[in-house]
Amino acid sequence: MGKTLFDKVWDAHVVDTIENGPQILYIDKHLIHEVTSPQAFNELKQRGIPVARPHKIVATADHNTPTVNQHLPIKDALSRKQLTQLSKNCKENNIPLYDLGHKNNGIVHVIAPELGFTQPGMTMVCGDSHTSTHGAFGTIAFGIGTSQVAQVFASQCLLLQKPKSLRVSVNGNLKKGVLPKDVILYIIAKLGTNSGTGFFCEYAGNVFEEMSMEGRMTVCNMSIEMGARGGMIAPDQTTFDYVAGKEYAPKGEEFDKKVAYWKTLPTDTDATFDKEYSFDAADIEPMITYGTNPGMGIKITENIPDFNDSSFEKSLEYMNFKKGESLINKPINYVFIGSCTNSRIEDFRIAAAYVKGKQKATNVNAWLVPGSQKVAKQITEEGLQTVFEAAGFVLRQPGCSACLAMNDDKIPEGEYCVSTSNRNFEGRQGQGSRTILASPLVAAATAVEGKIIDITQHLN
Amino acid sequence: MEKFTKLTSRAVPLATENIDTDQIIPARFLKATDKVGFGDNVFRDWRFHKDGSLNNEFVLNNTNYSGSILVAGDNFGCGSSREHAAWALTGYGFKVIVSSFFADIFKGNALNNGLLPVQVSAGYLKELMAYLQENPTSEIVVNLEEQSIETAIGTATFDIDPYKKTCMINGYDDIDYLISKKDQITAFEAQNMN
- pLDDT tens, residue by residue, A57-73: 999 999 999 999 999 99
Q: Which residues contact B17 (CB under 8 A, 6 or more apart)?
A: A311, B73, B74, B75
How far, in Å, CA of A23 to CA of A123, rounded? 14
CB spacing of A155 vs B175 below 8 angstroms? yes
Contact at 8 Å (CB) between A335 and A323? no
CB atoms within 10 A of CB A452: 22
Judge contact between A394 and A316, C-beta under 8 A. no
Q: Are the C-beta atoms of residues B89 and B24 closer than 8 Å to each other? A: yes
Q: A358 with A448: CB under 8 angstroms? A: yes
A35 touches chain B (CB under 8 A): yes
- This prediction has a pTM of 0.97
Cβ neighbours of residue A232 closer than 8 Å, sequence gap 6 or more: A5, A6, A9, A135, A136, A138, A139, A140, A200, A201, A202, A203, A220
Put simply, the answer to whether A406 touches B30 (Cβ < 8 Å) is yes
Q: CA-to-CA distance for A269 and A20, rounded, in angstroms?
A: 30
The reported pLDDT for the residue numbered A1 is 86
Picking from B80, B125, B168 by the largest number of A CB atoms within 10 A of its own CB, the best residue to mutate is B80
Which pLDDT does position A55 carry in this prediction?
A: 97
Question: What's the one-letter identity of residue A371?
Answer: G
Rounded to the nearest angstrom, the minimum Cα separation between A258 and chain B is 11
Separation between Cα atoms, residue B87 and residue A304, nearest integer Å: 36
pLDDT tens-digit profile of A84-100?
A: 999 999 999 999 999 99
Q: Give the pairing of strands A434-437 and A97-98.
A: unpaired
What does the pLDDT read at residue B194?
A: 54
What is the spatial distance between Cα B129 and Cα B125, in angstroms, rounded to a whole number? 6
Element (H, E) at B180: helix B174-180
CB atoms within 10 A of CB A284: 22
CB contact under 8 A, A431 and B26: yes
**Residue A311 at interface with chain B, using a CB cutoff of 8 Å:** yes
Return the DSSP state at B43: T
Q: Report how far residue A57's alpha carbon sits from residue A96's, in angstroms, rounded to the nearest whole number.
A: 7
Helix (H) or strand (E) holding B189: helix B182-192
Q: Is there a contact between A160 and B44 (Cβ–Cβ < 8 Å)?
A: no
**pLDDT for A213:** 98
Subunit contact A147:B81, Cβ cutoff 8 A? no
Residues A119 and A235: beta-carbon distance below 8 Å: no
How confident is the model at residue A460, as a pLDDT?
Answer: 66
H/E/C letters for each residue in chain A? CCCCHHHHHHHCCEEEECCCCCEEEECCEEEECCCCCHHHHHHHHHHCCCCCCHHHEEEECCCCCCCCCCCCCCCCHHHHHHHHHHHHHHHHCCCCEECCCCCCCECHHHHHHHCCCCCCCCEEEECCHHHHHHHHHCCEEEECCHHHHHHHHHHCEEEECCCEEEEEEEECCCCCCCCHHHHHHHHHHHHCCCCCCCEEEEEECHHHHCCCHHHHHHHHHHHHHHCCCEEECCCCHHHHHHHCCCCCCCCHHHHHHHHHHHCCCCCCCCCCCCEEEEEEHHHCCCEEECCCCCCCEEECCCECCCCCCHHHHHHHHHHCCCCCCECCCCECCEEEECCCCCCCHHHHHHHHHHHCCCCCCCCCEEEECCCEHHHHHHHHHCCHHHHHHHCCCCECCCCCHHHCCCCCCCCCCCCEEEECCCCCCCCCCCCCCEEEECCHHHHHHHHHHCECCCHHHHCC
How crowded is residue A322: how many other Cβ atoms within 10 Å of its Cβ?
11
CB-count burial class (<10 Å; 0-12, 13-18, 19+) for A236: middle
Asked if A90 contacts A96 with a C-beta cutoff of 8 angstroms, the reply is yes
Distance CA B168, CA B100 (A): 21
> For chain B, where are the E strands, in sequence order?
6-14, 69-72, 96-99, 116-119, 139-143, 148-151, 154-157
Show the low-confidence residues of chain A (pLDDT under 70). 460
C-alpha–C-alpha distance, residues A133 and A121, integer Å? 14
Are the C-beta atoms of residues A129 and A224 closer than 8 Å to each other? Answer: yes
Closest C-alpha among A111, A197, A179 to residue A375: A111
Is A415 touching B (CB cutoff 8 A)?
no
Q: Per the CB < 8 Å rule, is A143 touching B188?
A: no
ipTM for the predicted complex: 0.96
| Chain B nearest C-alpha distance from A233 (Å) | 21
Question: Over the stretch B89-147, which tens digit does the pLDDT of each residue have?
Answer: 999 999 999 999 999 999 999 999 999 999 999 999 999 999 999 999 999 999 999 99
Taking the Cβ of residue A48 and every Cβ of chain B, the question of whether any pair is shorter than 8 Å is answered with: no
Q: Which of A257, A314, A404 to mutate to test the interface with B (most CBs of B within 10 A)?
A: A404
State the nearest Cα–Cα gap between B56 and chain A, in angstroms.
17
